[in-house]
Amino acid sequence: MKIEKWNGYAIRFVEVDGEWWAVATDVTSALGLKQTSRAVNSLDPDGVTSSKVIDSMGRAQQANVINEFNIYKLVFKSKKAEAIEFQRWVFEVIKQLRKSSGLEGFEIFRMLDKEHQKQMMADLSRGLKRPVRLDFIKANTIANKAVSTKYGYPKMVKKAEMTPEMMLTRESILEDTTQLMSAKDKFGLDIRVAETIYAKQREAAQ
């Protein structure tokens, strides 16, 4: 086991199949993400496993560990200033890679969106008791309308016509939408998902 210090936190790493995976609770604590189980459930399942680790008292225990890709995913969920600086650095790296490969900015965001879209629809499918095609259409329509309104468009802009900035905003809104739809279905909440999402965007704009 190895321990790395970041922002005053000790993050434990254990070796899994020749790669170093981080203890999930250590990462979420450092990033200010309070609900570790919820955060882990939103990650790529292939990058999450259980491993024996040593706690601060020197005792062995089983804990969820996550791979490098999922560490990055958690960093992008955090609103801590240090995490935001790291996000900016990642975007600069992506920008340089994009330029060196001859791609336009909108093209790299389209590529990134495909993976995010796939993950969100998979999360929604797992979160609903009896998912149907209409649920996936609803989630995407809500996200598209919320983004369009946020950027001042009187009518809904289709995803294919959105700017890179709008696409990036859409990712977080789509994630909020799928999580809210899943929570409503699971707990029988008396809420209207679309109105709740739109209200959140109006509040953020004020």
What is the pLDDT tens value at each position of the chain, 206 positions in all?
Answer: 888 887 788 899 999 988 899 999 999 988 888 888 888 988 888 899 999 998 877 888 999 999 988 898 888 888 888 888 878 877 776 677 667 767 666 566 665 677 788 889 999 999 999 999 999 999 999 999 999 999 999 999 998 888 877 887 898 899 999 999 999 999 999 999 999 999 988 887 66
Q: Are the CB atoms for 58 and 41 separated by under 8 Å?
A: no
* Global confidence as pTM: 0.52
What pLDDT was estimated at residue 101?
64
- How is 11-64 classified by DSSP, letter by letter? EEEEEETTEEEEEHHHHHHHHT---HHHHHHTS-GGGEEEEEEE-TTS-EEEEE
Q: Are 198 and 149 in contact (CB under 8 A)?
A: yes
pLDDT score, position 42: 87
pLDDT the model gives residue 106: 59
The whole-number pLDDT of residue 94 equals 64
The CA distance from 118 to 45, in Å, is 13
